[in-house]
Every structure is written in structure tokens, then in C-alpha cells.
Chains A and B, each alone.
Chain A
């Protein structure tokens, strides 16, 4: 928009002759008058196949958009390939998409290691690597990697926000941490560490588990014995549910902070037992569709209608259906903003100029905002407390400065 306005000014200054140049369509690779080609790698098979849900939801969403006439008359040709969460496969498929299939951009490819494997490549090739689906903090680095952008608030930010609240509300309490021994756990821990720096000595236990462990029962016992009264729970859904159950079973009553990746009502709270989950605190940026509190909000109703009609075989309790959908809506909005200049350069220019995008299923008040120096589209979260059978939000929107 900005660009065409500037062109318009030049056009006005140089007279009518400049007008045809203004209306000139500019196409990058993968774009024609009728089509926009978009690539993606997703783990539809392998260890992380549970996340493949997002890719399917997006395929369905783009089918719906195409059915409604596409983006400014161009159909989206969405090529989403299975990399099985294996970095060499991601490199191979990404190169196939960029060099052979000539996509305009890569969209929401999933995984930290997999995206790392093509990070440099995408920036050398100058093909947008948009809205990568990982919570690592390294994707928002416009200076070194101007062709890469993340989307969701990163784990680091969330960890720091938990820490900030602990520092404000309970600076003398003993703190225990349980975390998954992988990059997700590490990123959260870094954020927590940063926020807790002044009172890090209060951390009496920092216990890890492996994603291959059968249960975290022994870790919970170990943590309880440390005498902590604040518990930071950096676990994925299965282990979070186990931890909540075990804590109730042994009659421990800490202030329980649960990371957002494990805050699903349907996948964690219900299996763990609502009576065991009362009072747990989490941070959210998107609406939890398994939370009956949102049942009447218009964006939920719209999402539900979309899911029922276009993605009927999906399990609607899985949170990836929500984030996958929301980020796809964001992309379509961005492509509309690009207008007739559908080159990689302009896509990045416009992606760095998203102003107050209202994206469905984000929490009320959270808007997508970027600038040439801010490549973190969503920077705010809100704390929520579990109450009877749903999360009730409290306090203000919280944000943490982006980390380069």
C-alpha cells in the first residue's frame, strides 16, 4: 500500500504517462494471473506427526479461499510436503519447492531443527520463509535474516513473563522447575532464568524428563521433596496431564504455572481431571476452542463452520487446528495487502508492515504488528487461571521485548 501510494505521488508529478507503470503487475516466481504457489514442509509422519494437523487445516482453508474466488482472483496452489521432522529431508523438499516448483514463499513450515536446516538457504535464495512454526526465539532477526519471520510468541518470552509475575507476587517463595529435555524446554528455561535472575537462588529444583519417558511421577516426587511452593511446569500435553494428576494425588498444593503448549482443556485438563486442575496459571495468545467460554464468540462460530464443512475429518480438540487456521488467515490478509506486486521482495516488505491485523481466534486485544525492525508478529500474551472447566483471563496483556 505504502509503495503504491508513493508511486502514485511520482505518477502525479510526472503526469499521466506514469500511470501505465503503476498498473503493471509484478510477479515473482510461482505467481501468474491466476495462481500463487506456496510451499510448506510438515511432519505428516514420524515423531512429530501430531503437528501435521496444522498443515491439513491450512490445506482445507486454502481450498475454501479458492472456492470463494481466491486472493484477488488468484488461486492459491498450496504444496505441503511431508518431511517426517528430519532436517535433511526438509532441505531436500525445500529445495524442490524453491528451485523446481518455484514457489513464491515458504509458509509455516514446522520444527526448530528443520527450519534451522534451511534458514541460511532461504536467505541466500531470497525467498520468504514466512511465519515458521516454532517457538524458538531466533526467527525474529531481521538484520541477519531479512527473509525469515516467526509468528507466535516465542517460548522465551512466555518463560520471562511467568518469571516476571513470580518476581512481582512472590519474590521469596521457593521455586521448582520441571522441563522437557529438548529445545522447547531449553528455550522456556532461558526465559525463566532471565526473568528470575535477581532471585535465581530461590530455585530449589530444576528437574528434566525425556520425551521418551513413560511418566513423570518420580520427577514430581523429587520436586515436592525440594520444599518448593511455586511450580513451573514446562511439559508437553501428555506429561502435563500426568504431572497435574500426580500433584493432586500426593496432596501437594503449589502455585502451578503451566506453559501454553500444554494448556489445552480437551487434551490436558479434562484427562487430568478438572478437580485437580483448579487454580493453575497459564499464558495464552489464542483462544482455546475446547474452552466452552468461547462458544459464542463470532470468530469461534466461523472457525467451527469452516472445520465442519472443509476439514470434517479433523479432531477439533487439537489446538493446531486453531493456530494453523489463524496463521493461514494472516497469510491471505498479507497477500491481499501485497496487491499486484507479488514478488518475494514485496511480500517481505509488506510482511514487515502488518499494522494492527485483527486475526480470528487470537485473544481479544491481541493484534498482529510488525515493522522493519520487529519481525515478531505476536508479542503479547495474557495470563489465565483455570476455573471450573475453562480458563479465565486475568490481568493485562503482557509483552516482552523481542529477542534478536
Chain B
């Protein structure tokens, strides 16, 4: 299954599809000029959230899907990224865009350092170690000694940026483009990473760590660096979230956030790049629709009790996993194969040989 999911990502047509896909995303804000919809800015905001969550899922996917390490604590790196941006904007007066690369570096460092001791832990034990990270970070942010910087329980309020150079965009359109640009950069980076030697090493470690070691791959180094890069990408998503929400607070980064990343990852498709975006869309849309379905059920069946929205969410998730066990992206591929017939020979694991030898 995982092999299926990675093979297409490196097929020759994939790049063109990706360009088309991003071009469509980039064209979406233009609808605002054609249609006069008062809630258009709200939809742009939803788009920002989807891209942000998609990027966070991408970070997690690199770790889980392509390197086989499990993390339940990526909300912590999301928080570190968000707080890095917030603190730099608030106390150092830095412009928002300059804080994004710094957030990436800080999160890489945090992820790398956390990865060092955590390396001794395999599989479920690593999952538990990262789990503690997810529950500790919101508490640590309130810690008195650093409350002067983090704003403690109250959090930090930020200025929402306006479009630069007098661009004829609304702030939300502009922020959508900012998120789009940054997440595109992240996807492009991961795409190139995976197509290269490092990517093959990561996947080799996932598929068979011992064999990978025998082949001369420094598994320890690769695993820590992958953890670091994964944390950095999720941290960048956190930085974007701080900019678009214009507020950070400890309650934004609970364990539930870490779980929704994981849900987004599994729903979108493990080890699938387009699946990350689908996962981001899922995170934003499905929680809200669960609430609407709950309200709708209560009204149309004139129920006496509320139907808990989270129960509906659970049922939706179960159905999805039952019918699409390899996620939305896996489902799409299966559909394509059923419609156009399975493509046999080119689903081998070795990707575009010429391109990858250069790095």
C-alpha cells in the first residue's frame, strides 16, 4: 500500500499535475473580483486554514509516512513555530514574513534535539514520548518564568498584516496568497527531498531499518534529521497560523490539535503529498459539518436530546476508514485504476533516476 502511494508521487506526470493543481489554488482568490459575495473573505480565511493544516500534515507525513516514525506531539512544534513568530513580532518588532524562516530554524532545532534521545525509542515508545510533548507544551507556555515572553495564559495579540505595495487585494486574499506561497515552497522542498538520495534513504529506513543500515545509511542521523525537518515544516505552519489568526494562546495547541493532524494525515493518505492538502481540508471542513449534521438531525427528527457532534465526527471517520482504508488519496487512485485500468509496469519503486542522482 505504502509502495503504491509513493510510486505515483515520483512518476513523470506528477510534476505537471502538481503545477496545474497549485495554479488552480492560486486562481481561487480571483473569484472574489467576479462574484460579489459578502462572505468571500471568510472563504479566503477557510482557505488559509486549510493550507496551514495541510502544511502541518505535510510535516507529519514526512515523518510518519516516509520515515516510519510515529509522532503524537506535532502540536508542540506547531506551537513553537507560532510562538516564535509571535514573540519576534511583538518584542523584536520584526516584520511577519521575516519570522517564518526563523520559526523554521527554531523548530528544526527543537525537533532535532528532541529526536536525539527519542531515537533510542522505537515505534509505540516514540509515540508515547512525543505524546508527553503535546501535553507538556501548553502547560510550559504558561510557566511563570517565561510568561513575560509568552504572555502566560493570556497569550499574545498580534497585528494582522496588510497587503504590501498597495496590491489591490483584501487582507484575507493577501494572507491566502502568503499561505499558498509558503506551503507551495514546503511541498516543493519535500517533493525534491523525497525524489533524491535522502528521500530514498528515509523510505528505506521506514521499510527495513536493518537492511538500510547494512546498505551504509546512517539510520540514526537520518532519523533525527527527518524529525527535525518534519518539526520545521509543522513549525512553519504554526508561524502562518499565528499570522493569520493574529493571536497565540496556550489553549490553541492542545493534544486535540496533534490528534487532528494525525487524523488529517490518515484521512488524506499516508505517504501521499496531495493527500496532505486533502487532510487539511478535512480538518477544517468535517468538524464544522459534524456540528451542522447534529443540528440538522435535531431539527428534522425533532429529537429531544442533542446529538453529540463528536459522535457524528467519529461515525464519519469510521465510515471513511472502512470504505477508503488508504485515505482519500488512496481512494482516488483506486478509482482511477478501476476507471482506466491498472497501470502495471511503471508502479515500481525506483523513481526518475536521472533527476535524483545529481544531489
Contacts and interface: CB of A to CB of B under 8 A. Distances in A.
Given A84-B256, A95-B45, A99-B42, A44 B251 contact: no
Given A99-B41, A116-B249, A210-B139, A92 B46 contact: yes
B246 interface: yes
Contacts of A88: 49, 241, 245, 252
A183 interface: yes
Contact of A116 (B41, B154, B256, B304): B154
B241 A86 contact: no
B247 interface: yes
Interface size class of B (residues with CB under 8 A): 35 or more
Interface stretch (B84-92, B266-274, B305-313, B325-333): B305-313
Contacts of B246: 120
Contacts of B300: none
Nearest to A117: B247
Contacts of A116: 154-155, 157, 247, 249
B291 A47 contact: no
B155 A87 contact: yes
B163 to A, nearest CB: 16
Nearest to A81: B291
Interface in B133-170: 139, 142, 152-155, 157
B341 interface: no
The main secondary structure of chain A at its interface with chain B is helix
B139 A99 contact: no
A95 B154 CA distance: 21
A182 B252 contact: no
B153 A183 contact: yes
Given A92-B46, A100-B42, A82 B249 contact: no
B172 to A, nearest CB: 9
B39 interface: yes
Contact of A87 (B45, B251, B309): B251
A261 to B, nearest CB: 16
A91 B248 CA distance: 11
Contacts of A44: 309
B247 A91 contact: yes
Interface string A153-166: 00000000000000
B247 A45 contact: no
B254 interface: yes
Contacts of B310: 45
Given A44-B309, A45-B309, A85-B251, A91 B245 contact: yes
A26 to B, nearest CB: 19
Nearest to B246: A120
B38 interface: yes
A361 B291 CA distance: 32
A313 B303 CA distance: 12
A87 B156 CA distance: 12
Contacts of A56: 306
B154 A112 contact: yes
Interface in B153-208: 153-155, 157
A86 B252 contact: yes
A293 interface: no
A91 B142 CA distance: 21
B256 A87 contact: no
Given A56-B306, A116-B155, A182 B245 contact: no
Contacts of B241: 88
B289 to A, nearest CB: 12
Contact of B251 (A45, A82, A86, A186): A86
A117 B154 CA distance: 10
A207 to B, nearest CB: 13
Contacts of B43: 100
B42 A96 contact: yes
Contacts of A86: 251-252, 254, 256-257
B309 A47 contact: no
B75 to A, nearest CB: 11
B147 to A, nearest CB: 10
A181 interface: yes
A116 B154 CA distance: 8
A119 B319 CA distance: 39
Interface in B253-310: 254, 256-257, 284, 288, 291, 304-306, 308-310
Contacts of B39: 99-100, 102
A299 B42 CA distance: 42
A119 B39 CA distance: 19
A113 interface: yes
Contacts of A99: 38-39, 41-42
Given A56-B306, A91-B247, A113 B45 contact: no
19 contacts: A45-B310, A47-B251, A47-B254, A82-B309, A84-B256, A86-B252, A86-B257, A92-B49, A93-B288, A99-B38, A99-B39, A100-B42, A113-B155, A113-B250, A114-B251, A116-B247, A117-B249, A182-B153, A210-B139
Given A116-B249, A183-B154, 11 more contacts: A45-B309, A47-B251, A84-B256, A88-B245, A95-B42, A112-B153, A113-B155, A113-B251, A116-B157, A119-B157, A182-B153
